[in-house]
Amino acid sequence: MSFAHRHLLGIEHLSPSDITAILDLAETYVDLNRQSTKHADVLSGMTQINMFFENSTRTQASFELAGKRLGADVMNMAMQASSIKKGETLIDTAMTLNAMHPDLLVVRHPHSGAVDLLAQKVNCAVLNAGDGKHEHPTQALLDALTIRRAKGRLHRLNIAICGDVAHSRVARSNLILLGKMENRIRLVGPPTLVPSQFADFGAEIYDDMHEGLKDVDVVMMLRLQKERMDGGFIPSEREYYHRYGLDEAKLSLAKADAIVMHPGPMNRGVEIDGQLADDINRSVIQEQVEMGVAVRMAAMELLARNHRGQHD
Amino acid sequence: MSDLLFTNARLIDPEANTDTLGWLHVRDGIIQSQGSDIPPSTDTIIDCRGKCLAPGIVDIGVKVCEPGERHKESYKSAGAAAAAGGVTTMVTRPDTTPTIDNPETLEFVTRRAQAEAPVNVLPMAALTKGREGSEMTEIGFLMDAGAVAFTDCDHVISNTKVFTRALTYARSCGALVMAHPQEPILSAGAAATSGKFAALRGLPAVSPMAERMGLDRDIALLEMTSARYHADQITTARALPALERAKNNGLDITAGTSIHHLTLNELDVSDYRTFFKVKPPLRSEDDRQAVIEAVRTGLIDIISSMHTPQDEESKRLPFAEAAAGAVAMETLLPAALRLYHSDQLDLPTLFRAMSLNPAKRLGLNSGRLSAGAPADLVLFDPDVPFILDRATLKSKSQNTPFDGQRMQGRVQATYVAGHEIYRRA
């Protein structure tokens, strides 16, 4: 199993075999995480720093848990309340941290490309935990693992990614990953939130939810990212829910065994009906969270192997 | 009423572009056939005595002052004025108080219109909340509630980001957007068109170029968004080449003009007569002639009344402070006939712009004399002379610029779905 990457900055840089390698390894961690003793000491002695320049609860917790289960020393830095407020540039922050010799750096930043910039300046492995509206690779990987386990395969599926595509790094990473694995992808939403340029990536664009969901295997809902919006992209939440919110009626157009996904946190009654989100026969939303820890453990292990290789 | 035959009629058919003597057969409110040979036999025969029978006018941009200012115009008074003017479909504006910008208000006015007006009423809704140009309205819900188009009326959305998104969203709903092409900063506060007359009178004036700038901007946004767009009033020669290019480039754009800009010019303002204050302001004679020619060629698609009732108090003010707008549904046809009598536009062309094109733009089956169309008709004598007395108008407001003027041609009867809703006593 080869995984020749120093960092995990985006799905864009991964080959289909890289993706499969991560998912295969993650499967073993799914099993481990279901044991009462969840330790694998592959990162023992290593230092993992989580730098979040943007608020996060679930992603940060998931990375922290993943690191701890692998035996790393994990430190969380809430960068919003720190030196960045004192005027330090991103590169200076990186250089400062670099001097402390971390082995894994997990970074989330509000600006697209900021994690790439940081990765050029440090000696350790960098994992992108979301940069602006660019990529969120571990989310796409955990979504892929969830789909593979639910559907038994990760190719030749019809997958609808619905809602606020424009502001979503999750949508971009998923579009790239699922495209690499040869699935048919539809982007569904109001044209203000689904720019037509995405057609150039080979996705089919629908502004009618009913047409867009027809006969799909996977319905991936996105959160309406109000905090990233500059001005109004939709008239109101009630009209958005009426036209683009996922409910039983709209879902009935998808295949009978279609699964419902959401990266969380959900806005119930805005992009998804609350009962539907809780329906264990359709919704795999909780499973996505579980897969998140396993995928992050796998990604960190693969990067750590390469990192150790450099030092040995 | 099951069978109805109009005989001895001068049929003005804008679709066939003909003006011929013949008969028109109507059954159950629907036009069945027309011809000039032997007519079918029917229960009821209306002898038109050689007068003109044309498809009823579809008037885009009528202001009815409900909710908010019912003393200026109600659905009842506007409906009566429409019927007397040969307007069989009023397409109403949302610039009321409060603005018609949510489905609840739209449902209210639809209910009022159904109860009070004898003509068809199709409401438009605002494109942005409160016509403030910052947040788009619930276009999807408003369409479900019956909005036929979206417009902020004379408010220009100066924030191009907001306008672009509204156009994009409207496109996905299949909605028609009607805009007022005007450079908003250049035209702010203007009461007249810049030129010799405005200079002489010392009125705050705007260059006619402001209209072209506004149209150029909107056309660029249409190229970005592929939205369905109608310019409410094109009134200047300088804007016409841009419009023509946009049409040739295949954009989904149509344009209207107002009856006032076709039949009056800036000099009519004379001694600060505020009944001649409209928005945009009356233009030069050269502009007026260019706009008439554009209607003739079809570059300008639609003639509207831009019916805007104002009470005496809002008009009895210094010119710059007076409210803009004029009532016009009842004078629309007689004024339009001025262009017929001056040999500039023939009757099929006039009804193409007043009935057929607006109906087509809104996806209506009316505005024509073809089989299957609703029998929304206007019977008029194109030649009878009269002097307009504004006291005889059925509108609650009587702010017409044509008061005391000699006109030629007036409506004799109006039919909606085959029912006579107006007959001149």
Which residue reads 């050269």 in tokens? B286
- Measure the CA–CA gap between B15 and A116, rounded to whole angstroms: 63
When CB atoms are compared, the residue of B135, B141, B171 closest to A232 is B135
- Rounded to two decimals, the pTM is 0.92
pLDDT in tens, A145-168: 999 999 999 999 999 999 999 999
When CB atoms are compared, the residue of B134, B138, B161 closest to A239 is B138
The distance between the two most distant Cα atoms of chain B, rounded to a whole number of Å, is: 65
Q: What is the pLDDT of residue B33?
A: 96
Which residue reads 């991936």 in tokens? A220
Q: How confident is the model at residue B284 (pLDDT cuts 50, 70, 90)?
A: very high
pLDDT in tens, B90-104: 999 999 999 999 999
pLDDT in tens, B343-379: 999 999 999 999 999 999 999 999 999 999 999 999 9
Q: How confident is the model at residue A309 (pLDDT cuts 50, 70, 90)?
A: confident
**A-chain residues within 8 Å CB-CB of B158?**
none
Structure tokens at B146: 């019956």
Query: Cα Rg for chain B, rounded, in angstroms?
Result: 20
Whether the CB-CB separation of B147 and B123 falls below 8 Å is answered with yes
When CB atoms are compared, the residue of B134, B141, B172 closest to A207 is B172
pLDDT in tens, A238-267: 999 999 999 999 999 999 999 999 998 999
- Per-residue pLDDT, averaged over A276-295, amounts to 96
Q: Are strands B419-423 and B406-416 parallel, antiparallel or unpaired?
A: antiparallel
ipTM of the predicted structure? 0.87
Mean pLDDT of chain B: 97
When CB atoms are compared, the residue of A231, A232, A242 closest to B140 is A242
3-class DSSP assignment, residue A11: helix
Mean pLDDT of chain A: 93
- Measure the CA–CA gap between A220 and B264, rounded to whole angstroms: 60
| Nearest alpha carbon to residue B58 among B410, B378, B421 | B378
Whether the CB-CB separation of B264 and B313 falls below 8 Å is answered with no
- Per-residue pLDDT, averaged over B223-249, amounts to 98
How far does the CA of residue A292 sit from the closest CA of chain B (Å)?
Answer: 35
Which of A205, A233, A236, A242 to mutate against chain B (most B CBs within 10 Å)? A236
Q: What is the pLDDT of residue A228?
A: 72
Q: How confident is the model at residue A308 (pLDDT cuts 50, 70, 90)?
A: confident
- Measure the CA–CA gap between B320 and B340, rounded to whole angstroms: 33
**A-chain residues within 8 Å CB-CB of B169?**
190-192, 233-235
Contacts with A, B 150-169, CB within 8 Å: 159, 161-162, 165, 168-169
Q: How confident is the model at residue B210 (pLDDT cuts 50, 70, 90)?
A: very high
Whether the CB-CB separation of B231 and B302 falls below 8 Å is answered with no
Structure tokens at B112: 């009022």
Contacts with A, B 164-193, CB within 8 Å: 165, 168-169, 171-172
Do the Cβ atoms of B138 and A232 come within 8 Å? no
Amino acid at A176: I
Percent of chain B with pLDDT over 90: 99
Q: Report whether pLDDT(A45) > 70.
A: yes
Do the Cβ atoms of A233 and B172 come within 8 Å? no
When CB atoms are compared, the residue of A230, A231, A235 closest to B139 is A235
How far does the CA of residue B172 sit from the closest CA of chain A (Å)?
Answer: 6
Whether the CB-CB separation of B83 and B412 falls below 8 Å is answered with no
- Per-residue pLDDT, averaged over B152-175, amounts to 97
- Per-residue pLDDT, averaged over B193-204, amounts to 95
pLDDT in tens, A77-95: 887 766 566 778 888 888 8
DSSP secondary structure of B172-195: HHT-EEEE----TTTTTT--EETT
- Measure the CA–CA gap between B295 and B285, rounded to whole angstroms: 15
Helix segments in B11-157, DSSP class H: 75-85, 103-116, 139-144
Q: What is the pLDDT of residue A2?
A: 73
pLDDT in tens, A111-121: 999 999 999 99
- Per-residue pLDDT, averaged over A268-278, amounts to 94
Q: How confident is the model at residue A13 (pLDDT cuts 50, 70, 90)?
A: very high
- Measure the CA–CA gap between B76 and B115, rounded to whole angstroms: 8
**Chain A interface includes B269 (CB < 8 A):** no
- Per-residue pLDDT, averaged over B46-67, amounts to 97
**B-chain residues within 8 Å CB-CB of A208?**
172
Q: How confident is the model at residue B2 (pLDDT cuts 50, 70, 90)?
A: confident
- Measure the CA–CA gap between B422 and B416, rounded to whole angstroms: 9
Q: What is the pLDDT of residue A32?
A: 95
3-class DSSP assignment, residue B150: strand
How far does the CA of residue A199 sit from the closest CA of chain B (Å)?
Answer: 15
Q: What is the pLDDT of residue B176?
A: 98
Q: Report whether pLDDT(B283) > 80.
A: yes
| Nearest alpha carbon to residue B122 among B88, B153, B146 | B146
State CA B310 to chain mean position distance.
17
Task: Give the total residue count for chain A.
Answer: 312
Q: What is the pLDDT of residue A232?
A: 87
Whether the CB-CB separation of B287 and B208 falls below 8 Å is answered with yes
Q: What is the pLDDT of residue A87?
A: 75
Q: How confident is the model at residue B18 (pLDDT cuts 50, 70, 90)?
A: very high
Q: Report whether pLDDT(A306) > 70.
A: yes
CA–CA distance from A136 to each of A43, A69, B320 (Å)? 23, 22, 58
Q: What is the pLDDT of residue A259?
A: 97
Percent of chain B with pLDDT over 70: 100
